[in-house]
Amino acid sequence: MPQQINVGLIGYKFMGKAHSQAFRDVPFYFPDVKLSPVMKAICGRDEKGVREAQGQFGWQEYELDYRKLIERQDIGLIDIATGNNVHAEMAVAAAQAGKHIYCEKPLAMNVEEARRMVDAVKKAGVINMVNFNYRAVPAIKFARQLIDEGVIGRVFHWRGFYLQDWIIDPGFPLVWRLEGDKAGSGSHGDLAAHLIDLAHYLVGDIDEVSGLQETFVKQRPKLAATTGGLTAAASAEMGEVTVDDASLFLAKFKNGAVGTFEATRFAAGHRNGNMFEINGEKGSIRFNVERMNEIEFYDHTDPGDRQGFRVIAATEGAHPWMGAWWPPAHIIGWAQTFTHQVYELLNGIAGNTCPHPNFEDGLKCQMVLEAVTRSARTREWVKLDSI
């Protein structure tokens, strides 16, 4: 039997539910996990809501103050699944209390906060991880393997799109994701952050960016009390949208590759289209999370009469993590990426080694986010080493 670690989760809505399922599922599907999670306590400010989540998600207890949760001597791992504006204060407090930390993306509201978080975990010597969960898609992990093996050769192009459409209606209310003081940014930090992390993971570090950002609907009805998320209800009062609706930028990578990035919540017909294509001297790779069990591969070295993109189903047990699930062609879903992340996190804690993506990866992403925003404001290229 593996040793155990008691987990405290802060946040109980969308991400809190996804994280809870991951902690619940890891020991069931991955009996080889080196450290078994105990779902000790969940934390939120609304007692009725957090108490209901405690029962539904399977946590033993609940707390109403994150500080009390962090101070508990029986908690070894703090999971931060809250809005972006409190990531830094919670993570720094958790590190100072000697807790290992799992934090939602983007890591922080800005680079200054992210640097404080990195400094705090380094000083405390605690294991830390950021939930860029798309790194834990088996097909994407396989794409990294192909690139590392030199199958597509030198990489020339990255083009990434993260397209959603859930706020096209100007009557959709002003949820927290549309308020800059709570979210930090809009589609940029929510969606482009995933593209940036994947580009770092698959292609390499970004050196320089040129950005464009736009807010199409500048005023929206304020949120009706006690509602939120995609089913949020509007009140009669109007408020200002203080984040971007769309973010686009060009990038130059340190290894000479070039890239394009587009993130928007105004792409009608796209519910959650996280897509990328990578072009190299020997071939290409492309991916769409709405078909997340597949990777498309083009081999430029094939004979001319046999060239074309082929679909590879990444459901065989040979693919990362897939041996824990089902027989070939029995697909997994988005939720399982969280299970994979938690599996890597727990093994990292057991081995006293930070898995990737960690807080330093989160800081690298935050630097690109900030550089793009600066570029969109100044209409100039921005070097990452100036951030």
**pLDDT tens per residue, range 145-195:** 999 999 999 999 999 999 999 999 999 999 999 999 999 999 999 999 999
Calculate mean pLDDT across residues 48-77.
98
Q: Which of 107, 133, 159 is the last residue of a domain?
A: 133
Residues 205 and 247 in one domain: yes
Domain presence at residue 177: yes
The rounded distance, in Å, linking the Cα atoms of 166 and 251 is 27
Q: How confident is the model at residue 230 (pLDDT cuts 50, 70, 90)?
A: low
Predicted structure pTM score: 0.96
Calculate mean pLDDT across residues 230-239.
82
Residues 296 and 317 in one domain: yes
Residues 145 and 59 in one domain: no
The rounded distance, in Å, linking the Cα atoms of 308 and 286 is 12
Q: Are strands 294-299 and 128-130 parallel, antiparallel or unpaired?
A: unpaired
Please say if the pLDDT value at position 226 is more than 70.
no
Please say if the pLDDT value at position 317 is more than 70.
yes
User: What H or E segment, with its residue span, contains residue 286?
Assistant: strand 283-288
Domain presence at residue 384: no
CA 103 to chain CA centroid, nearest Å:
9
Q: Which of 133, 157, 190 is the last residue of a domain?
A: 133
Calculate mean pLDDT across residues 221-245.
83
Cα torsion through 128, 133, 138, 140, rounded to 10: -100
Please say if the pLDDT value at position 229 is more than 80.
no
Residues 141 and 24 in one domain: no
- Which is more confident, 225 or 180? 180
Q: What is the pLDDT of residue 186?
A: 95
Residues 107 and 146 in one domain: no
Q: Please report where in the chains the tokens 């705090």 appear, as a residue.
A: 120
Share of the chain above pLDDT 90, in %: 96
- Which is more confident, 227 or 195? 195
Domain presence at residue 385: no
Please say if the pLDDT value at position 224 is more than 90.
no
Residues 288 and 170 in one domain: yes
The rounded distance, in Å, linking the Cα atoms of 337 and 347 is 16
Domain assignment of residue 190, given as a range: 135-355+365-378
Calculate mean pLDDT across residues 251-277.
97
Alpha-helix runs per DSSP H in the chain: 14-29, 47-57, 66-71, 87-96, 111-124, 138-148, 180-183, 187, 193-202, 335-351, 359-378
How many structural domains is the chain composed of? 2
Calculate mean pLDDT across residues 63-83.
98
Share of the chain above pLDDT 70, in %: 98
Q: How confident is the model at residue 227 (pLDDT cuts 50, 70, 90)?
A: low
Q: Which of 116, 133, 150 is the last residue of a domain?
A: 133
Q: What is the pLDDT of residue 231?
A: 66
Domain presence at residue 336: yes
Residues 276 and 184 in one domain: yes
Q: What is the pLDDT of residue 111?
A: 98
Domain presence at residue 318: yes
Q: What is the pLDDT of residue 168?
A: 96
Q: Please report where in the chains the tokens 């951030």 appear, as a residue.
A: 387
The residue type at 372: V
Q: What is the pLDDT of residue 234?
A: 83
Cα torsion through 73, 74, 77, 79, rounded to 10: -100
Q: What is the pLDDT of residue 138?
A: 98
Evaluate whether 288 touches 274 at the Cβ level (below 8 Å): yes
Residues 61 and 127 in one domain: yes
Residues 253 and 325 in one domain: yes
Please say if the pLDDT value at position 339 is more than 80.
yes
